[in-house]
Amino acid sequence: MPAIPRSEPFAEQTCPLGVCDGSGWILGPEDVARACECRAQRLSRGRSRGVSSVIPPRYRGVSFERPPVSDMERDLQTKAAVAEVRAFVEDLDTRLQEGRGLWLFGDTGTGKTTLAMLISKAALEAGKTVAIYSLPKLLARIRRTYDSEPGGDSYLSFFERLTSVDLLHIDDLGAEKRSDWVLEQLYALVNERYEAERSMLITTNLGHIELEDQIGSRTVSRLSEMCDAVEVHGEDRRYGKYRSAA
């Protein structure tokens, strides 16, 4: 049997599982080749290229063992939310395989984004594909695909990447001007991930009814089924920190 050609994204790579020779294939009895488990992982990472999967500098050191999360875990108002996030991280593989997500909601400055970044960071460290966007930046990124040159990053290719990553993290859901176009984009994205049973992680300052008014009941209904809702109580930690220093 002729050698299996090494094509991207497998060329000149070693198997992360230490099973195949880096080609993504395992040669078995009677020279019959079967796909290595690393092949699906690498193809998934290849499809996710072009989406933002970088933890912002402010959150790169986020940890259960460090403030502000360690302080939140001791605070009676926020300890339950931290416990929910910890349980999600500890059961990350199962949650993502089952398409389960988290919906963190509460007032401004209570730590929702910090807790969400903790999950995304854990997923990236576990080798999962993650896309991280604030909703305004995501909508701006989608609009830019309309102006792409032929052969560039089209709307369909970008949409496919957003719907194929293991975890889609959207921060500040509801922080955008409502329009028919916005409602259409959000519904299409959420519905595609809903049907494919792929996890979503969202944060919002809006309650359930307010969010329905902002992004539509069809989208909120799907998010409600996909995600476990976690309310993050407490005062504005950013403002409180400023007052303490004053």
229 contacts 100 by C-beta, under 8 angstroms: no
Domain boundaries, the chain: 1-47, 48-245
Return the ∠ at Cα 136 (arms to 92 and 100), rounded to 5°. Answer: 20
Identity at 226, one-letter amino acid code? M
Residue 53 binned pLDDT confidence (cut-offs 50, 70, 90)? low
- Secondary structure of the chain in the HEC alphabet? CCCCCCCCCCCCCCCCCCCCCCCCEEECHHHCEEECHHHHHHHHHHHCCCCCCCCCHHHCCCCCCCCCHHHHHHCCCCHHHHHHHHHHHHCHHHHHHCCCEEEEECCCCCCHHHHHHHHHHHHHHCCCCEEEEEHHHHHHHHHHHCCCCCCCCCHHHHHHHHHHCCEEEEECCCCCCCCHHHHHHHHHHHHHHHHHCCEEEEEECCCHHHHHHHHCHHHHHHHHHHEEEEECCCCCHHHHHHHHHC
Residue 27 binned pLDDT confidence (cut-offs 50, 70, 90)? low
Sheet holding 227-231, edge to edge: 130-134, 167-171, 199-204, 101-105, 227-231
Q: What pLDDT is attached to residue 176?
A: 87
* Lowest pLDDT segment from 13-17, 65-69, 142-146: 13-17
Q: Is 129 left (phi over 0), alpha (psi -120 to 50) or beta?
A: beta
pLDDT tens, 126-184? 999 999 999 999 999 999 888 766 656 688 888 999 999 999 999 999 988 899 999 99
Q: What pLDDT is attached to residue 33?
A: 64
Look at residue 1 and tell me whether its pLDDT is greater than 90: no
CA 93: distance to chain centroid? 13
* Lowest pLDDT segment from 46-50, 105-109, 131-135: 46-50
Which pTM does this prediction carry? Answer: 0.77
Among 238, 220, 237, residue whose Cα is nearest residue 229: 220
Look at residue 39 and tell me whether its pLDDT is greater than 70: no
Q: What pLDDT is attached to residue 9?
A: 43
Look at residue 191 and tell me whether its pLDDT is greater than 90: yes
Look at residue 71 and tell me whether its pLDDT is greater than 50: yes
Region 15-20: mean pLDDT is 64
Residue 98 binned pLDDT confidence (cut-offs 50, 70, 90)? very high
Identity at 28, one-letter amino acid code? G
- Terminal CA-CA length for the chain: 75
More confident residue, 94 or 16: 94
Architecture field, domain 48-245: 3-Layer(aba) Sandwich (3.40)
Q: What is the mean pLDDT of the chain?
A: 83
Look at residue 35 and tell me whether its pLDDT is greater than 70: no
Cα separation, 164 vs 184, whole angstroms: 19
Look at residue 246 and tell me whether its pLDDT is greater than 50: no
Q: What pLDDT is attached to residue 194?
A: 97
